[in-house]
Amino acid sequence: MLLKKKKDYKFKENGRFNVDISIKMAALKDPFSVVPPADEMIVFLRQHIGTEAEMLVNVGDSVKYGQKIGEIPKGILGAPIHSPVNGKIIELSKKFHPVSGEKETAVTIETMNEEQEPFFEPLNPDEEPSEVLLERVRESGIVGLGGASFPTHIKLSPSQKISHLIINAKESDPNIACDCRLMIEKPRAIISGINIMAKILDVKDITVATRTQEGETPEFEALLKEHNIKLERMPPNYSIGSEKLLVKEILGKEIPSGKFPTDVGILVHNVATAYAVDDAIENGNPLISRGLTYYSTDLGGKNLWVRMGTPVEHVLNFLGESPSKFNRIVLGSILMGSTIANPSYPILKATSAVTGFTDKESDPYRNPLPCIRCGYCNTVCPVYIYPQLIMEAEKKNDVDRLRKLHVEDCIECGLCSYVCPSRIRFTRYLTNGKNLVKNQEF
Amino acid sequence: MKIKKMKKQDKQTYKVVRPPHLYIDFEKNELMLKTFILMSIIAVASVIVMGLGAFIHIITALGVVLLVHSVIHSYQKLKGIDFTYETPASPLVAGLIVGLSMPIAAPYEITALVAFLMILVFKYGQGKFLKRKYLNPAAASKSFLLVLLSVMVFLEDSLATGLLFHPHHLGLNLLTAEGFNNSMWIFAGKIIPFLGIELSAGQGLIFWQTHGWIGGASGITVLIIGSIAAYWLRYKWRIIVSGLVTMTLLSLGIGLIIGPDPFVRIAFHVFTGSFIFMIFFMATEPQSTPMPEISQYIFGISVAVLTFVFQLFNVLGGSIFALMILNVITPWLDKPIIRTPFGHKKTNGGA
């Protein structure tokens, strides 16, 4: 079995659910291994929330490691895209995007060599003004690495004054351990990144929220103390890592529906994003590589350092795994991420994990039974909506009812499906329900 | 700039599956199997208290249900239709509920008929044609059949056969202290075998009932096992709690106002099988009961109030009718009352 089943159905109500974290635990002790670039790298021009970057290169162009190949005009939501290798552009084409599932523009780069010279001039964060640091963050194409991939430079320039910066190291997802590894292996860089973000925002009140127990990340915790950064140990339960729930957990503030933490003066950034910010400022590296956690039954948990654009099959080959042995490969959280249709799909900025399922680990939701209305889904929902009633309304296309049931507040954490005795994938109904409401509004 | 059409990526090698990909592995069959195991403890207690007759009722109900399920299951397998129930666990739970909800005095063939109607019409039938069970299958089949038999005036002693308004019960008056006391004789003076302990009416109602529903033979066993099941298997506990509290308060109230002893009143109204077994194992049937928390409280309170009224007027299947009334209005109970989602609390500046 891929997963050691933990039958914890003595769940507390409304979130705080103990999901099976055996994958995370299996990967936690494995240090990062650097995956060399593939012969051909596939770089999508949209790896962030927002619009596709404008292409800056042509077929036949030579590109350098870190060179900008996609630009976002100022004022537009998005982040620049950079070449992950020294190489040559061999193809510009529309390919299926691993996240949207739609055809989007991708640049195929033939790798010439593996050298990694910093593309930007390193900056001294203590000497440079905030504006310069913020511009470097923008130029480096940094996005939120917790999964949302919201452009960091936009988040770091909020319209409202920020009073509290929360660094999310909660890592709720049951198959991801790379953030924790980063805290073990790169503690100084993370602290530096946090301080840079605090300087840009002019924030004194900083809290790092972590799932780790005392002794798991000793150097990181010592540095937090040294820099007067608060540490909050979170309960290990799933879904607290969600931005709004994290704010509620730490500060007791409930972010109003439809608003963001910034609307109440709070900013939440992922711990890996803090590392990326430091890497861009102090080392001059744009965001072209990241840590991720790989898991398969045969290999167990592995933490890898991978360049964006690396095809998944190359990652598998590096690990000695054959793509053909899997029947499903999930990018990102196994509770929130979709599978990919093809192992040639590349790693994106938001790819925090790759998990391979073989024929022996068949899809647990493949033959759903009729709903028995047990209400387990409602009980565990961390945002107090009713997934089962939403499913009924979605099936009837009842938009008014969907609105009354506040489908738009669903955070798509997947807990409702996880506990369903009838093996129903509620997420489908919830996302469709959200779209129905959204479509009627516009 | 010219962008080429898709090439290599066109070839899909995996089926795209949406999230999630992790499952707790606690399926309906396991839920039903565990419910069946827990209810079996109540069945054993009932057989110990009521004897062979209870055993025959239970086995009859289970046998009929298993037979009908096997026929339908085989048919579905033959025709390649998706199984309605992958294993017999759910039908067996329903069969056991039928067995335990029958009065010990009922003829065995009535139990067999109730079980047959339950599995075929109200369990398989409701699911197939209505896509959801609006009525509790055991309650619906039992009340349907009992009403039918009771109104068949050409049957000899139709009331006794139907057991709806048992002729003997029609003479009881639970609205006065004296009438209530006079009605309690059937529960009093029971002697627990081997221990030789003689029980008062109140004690008999709680520990050792040889009258009424088979499932209520030992009310205290139902209370303990039902509580364990509700906690362990996450039944809709709000229905149970509100139902039990309401019935206790009503019994206490009538005991204090009219008499006689409030303890005996509570023992009768709460621990009689038609209520204590119904509230734990029938009123929590998930498909025919509401989802929102407040609606579950309303459901529990209402079912207790209606059962209490029916009990006072000697309607033997009172709790079943109360349950069915609430089952019917469940779609409306699902509608208006919902909890406040995250971010919508006015005190927190919510929308």
Per the CB < 8 Å rule, is B22 touching A365? Answer: no
The verdict on residue B230 lying in a domain is: yes
Predicted confidence (pLDDT) at residue B351 exceeds the cutoff of 60: no
B131 plus B242 within the same structural domain: no
Q: A388: which chain B residues are within 8 Å (Cβ-Cβ)?
A: 291
Closest residue by Cα to residue B199 from B210, B188, B212: B188
Question: Domain boundary at B92, B116, B150, which?
Answer: B150
Per the CB < 8 Å rule, is A384 touching B82? Answer: no
Q: What is the pLDDT of residue A176?
A: 92
Q: What is the pLDDT of residue A277?
A: 97
DSSP state of B133: -
Per the CB < 8 Å rule, is B343 touching A418? Answer: no
Report yes or no: B55 and B99 within 8 Å, Cβ to Cβ. Answer: no
- Show the tokens assigned to A332: 């990102």
Report A:222-281 residues touching B (Cβ under 8 A): 244-245, 248, 253-259, 264
Q: Which residue has the higher pLDDT, B313 or A199?
A: A199
Predicted confidence (pLDDT) at residue B14 exceeds the cutoff of 50: yes
Q: What is the pLDDT of residue B232?
A: 87
Q: Where are the beta strands (DSSP E) in A326-379?
A: 326-331, 353-358
Q: Whole-model pTM above 0.80?
A: yes
Please report the domains of chain A, with CATH numbers, ordered by start residue. Answer: 1-37+120-363 (3.40.50.11540), 40-113 (2.40.50.100), 376-441 (no CATH)
Distance CA(A170)–CA(A241), nearest Å, equals: 5
B346 contact A CB<8A: no
A337 contact B CB<8A: yes
pLDDT tens digits for A151-199?
A: 999 999 998 899 999 999 988 888 999 999 999 999 999 999 999 999 9
CA distance A336 to chain B (A): 5
- Show the tokens assigned to B184: 């309690």
Distance CA(A265)–CA(A160), nearest Å, equals: 7
Predicted confidence (pLDDT) at residue A52 exceeds the cutoff of 80: yes
Q: What is the pLDDT of residue B273?
A: 81
By the 10 Å C-beta count (0-12 exposed, 13-18 middle, 19+ buried), A381 is classed as buried
Q: A58: which chain B residues are within 8 Å (Cβ-Cβ)?
A: 1
A93 contact B CB<8A: yes
pLDDT tens digits for B83-123?
A: 888 899 999 999 999 999 998 888 898 899 999 999 999 99
Q: A375: which chain B residues are within 8 Å (Cβ-Cβ)?
A: 234, 236, 286, 291
Predicted confidence (pLDDT) at residue A16 exceeds the cutoff of 80: no
B121 plus B210 within the same structural domain: no
- In terms of DSSP H, where are the helices of chain B? 28-50, 52-79, 89-101, 108-117, 126-130, 137-150, 158-162, 167-170, 177-183, 201-207, 219-232, 237-257, 262-271, 273-277, 293-312, 318-333
Per the CB < 8 Å rule, is A370 touching B16? Answer: no
**DSSP string for residues in A98-130:** TTT-SEEEEEEEEEEE-----SSPP--TTTS-H
Q: Which residue has the higher pLDDT, A139 or A214?
A: A139
Mutant choice from A173, A242, A406 vs B, greatest count of B C-beta within 10 A: A406
Distance CA(A102)–CA(A96), nearest Å, equals: 5
**Domain total in chain B:** 2
- Show the tokens assigned to B259: 């008499």
Report B:317-336 residues touching A (Cβ under 8 A): 334
The verdict on residue B10 lying in a domain is: no
The predicted model gives A95-108 an average pLDDT of 91
B171 contact A CB<8A: no
B58 plus B90 within the same structural domain: yes
The verdict on residue B314 lying in a domain is: yes
CA distance A188 to chain B (A): 34
B114 plus B176 within the same structural domain: no
Q: Give me the helix-helix angle, B52-79 and B28-50, nearest 10°.
A: 160
CA distance A293 to chain B (A): 16
B11 contact A CB<8A: yes
**Per-residue pLDDT band at B348 (split at 50, 70, 90):** low
Percentage of chain B exceeding pLDDT 70: 89
Q: What is the pLDDT of residue A100?
A: 86
The predicted model gives A83-101 an average pLDDT of 93
Report B:84-113 residues touching A (Cβ under 8 A): 84, 86
DSSP state of B241: H
**Per-residue pLDDT band at B1 (split at 50, 70, 90):** very low
Q: B291: which chain A residues are within 8 Å (Cβ-Cβ)?
A: 373, 375, 378, 386, 388-389
Per the CB < 8 Å rule, is B24 touching A367? Answer: no
pLDDT tens digits for B155-208?
A: 666 666 655 556 666 677 888 888 888 888 888 878 888 788 888 888 888 999
B285 plus B329 within the same structural domain: yes
Distance CA(B16)–CA(B73), nearest Å, equals: 31
Predicted confidence (pLDDT) at residue B146 exceeds the cutoff of 90: no
Angle at CA A214, nearest 5°, toward A304 and A274? 45
3-state helix, strand, coil in chain A (%, to 5): 30, 20, 50
- Which residues partner with A267 through β-bridges? A165
CA distance B281 to chain A (A): 13
The verdict on residue B274 lying in a domain is: yes
pLDDT tens digits for A276-307?
A: 999 999 999 999 999 999 999 999 999 999 99
Report B:192-251 residues touching A (Cβ under 8 A): 232-234, 236
Predicted confidence (pLDDT) at residue B8 exceeds the cutoff of 80: no
The verdict on residue B343 lying in a domain is: no
The predicted model gives A28-43 an average pLDDT of 95
Strands A68-71 and A81-82: antiparallel
Q: Which residues form the domain of B243?
A: 170-333
Mutant choice from A160, A366, A369 vs B, greatest count of B C-beta within 10 A: A369
Q: Which residue has the higher pLDDT, A366 or A105?
A: A105
Closest residue by Cα to residue B61 from B74, B46, B48, B78: B46
Predicted confidence (pLDDT) at residue B149 exceeds the cutoff of 90: no
- Which residues partner with A330 through β-bridges? A339, A355
Nearest to A428 among B16, B18, B289 (CB): B18
The verdict on residue B204 lying in a domain is: yes
Closest residue by Cα to residue B272 from B315, B328, B332, B334: B315
Q: What is the pLDDT of residue A435?
A: 93
Q: Which residue has the higher pLDDT, B1 or A186?
A: A186
Q: Which residues contact A279 (CB under 8 A, 6 or more apart)?
A: A189, A193, A285, A287
- In terms of DSSP H, where are the helices of A120-167? 130-139, 152-155
pLDDT tens digits for A235-246?
A: 877 877 788 889
- Show the tokens assigned to B341: 């989602």
B176 plus B124 within the same structural domain: no
The verdict on residue B19 lying in a domain is: no
Q: Which residue has the higher pLDDT, A12 or B21?
A: B21
pLDDT tens digits for A303-323?
A: 999 999 999 999 999 999 999
Distance CA(B226)–CA(B205), nearest Å, equals: 17
By the 10 Å C-beta count (0-12 exposed, 13-18 middle, 19+ buried), B243 is classed as buried
B198 plus B140 within the same structural domain: no
Report yes or no: A132 and A139 within 8 Å, Cβ to Cβ. Answer: no
Report yes or no: A3 and A15 within 8 Å, Cβ to Cβ. Answer: no
B144 plus B289 within the same structural domain: no
Closest residue by Cα to residue A123 from A301, A286, A251, A282: A282
The predicted model gives A340-359 an average pLDDT of 93
Q: A427: which chain B residues are within 8 Å (Cβ-Cβ)?
A: 18-20
Predicted confidence (pLDDT) at residue A220 exceeds the cutoff of 90: yes
Predicted confidence (pLDDT) at residue B319 exceeds the cutoff of 70: yes
A19 contact B CB<8A: yes
Q: What is the pLDDT of residue B349?
A: 47
Q: Give me the helix-helix angle, B89-101 and B28-50, nearest 10°.
A: 30
The verdict on residue B124 lying in a domain is: yes
Name residue, tokens 């909660």: A170
Closest residue by Cα to residue B262 from B180, B183, B188: B180
Nearest to B286 among A9, A95, A372 (CB): A372
B102 plus B222 within the same structural domain: no
Predicted confidence (pLDDT) at residue A145 exceeds the cutoff of 60: yes
Closest residue by Cα to residue B212 from B263, B261, B163: B163
Closest residue by Cα to residue B32 from B209, B291, B281: B281
B77 contact A CB<8A: no
B306 plus B197 within the same structural domain: yes
B145 plus B186 within the same structural domain: no
Predicted confidence (pLDDT) at residue B278 exceeds the cutoff of 50: yes
DSSP state of A168: E
Report B:17-36 residues touching A (Cβ under 8 A): 17-28, 30-31
- Show the tokens assigned to A190: 């993370």
CA neighbours closer than 13 Å in the CB half-sphere of residue B140: 22
CA A170, chain centre distance (Å): 12
Nearest to A421 among B15, B27, B127 (CB): B27
Per the CB < 8 Å rule, is A404 touching B338? Answer: yes
Nearest to B350 among A254, A404, A423 (CB): A254
**DSSP string for residues in B169-233:** HHT--TTSHHHHHHHGGGTTTEEETTTTEEE-HHHHHHH---SSBGGGTTHHHHHHHHHHHHHHT
- Show the tokens assigned to A154: 């936009």
Q: Which residue has the higher pLDDT, B154 or A89?
A: A89
**DSSP string for residues in A246-298:** HHHHHH---PPTT--GGGGTEEEEEHHHHHHHHHHHHS---S-EEEEEEEETT
Name residue, tokens 């690396």: A310
pLDDT tens digits for B29-67?
A: 999 999 999 999 999 999 999 999 999 999 999 999 999
B202 plus B307 within the same structural domain: yes
Report yes or no: A201 and A165 within 8 Å, Cβ to Cβ. Answer: yes
The predicted model gives A50-70 an average pLDDT of 95
A188 contact B CB<8A: no
Question: Domain boundary at B97, B120, B150, which?
Answer: B150
**Per-residue pLDDT band at A47 (split at 50, 70, 90):** very high
Q: B299: which chain A residues are within 8 Å (Cβ-Cβ)?
A: none
Q: What is the pLDDT of residue A230?
A: 95
φ/ψ (deg, to 5) at A328: -145, 135
Predicted confidence (pLDDT) at residue B227 exceeds the cutoff of 50: yes
Report yes or no: B351 and A258 within 8 Å, Cβ to Cβ. Answer: yes
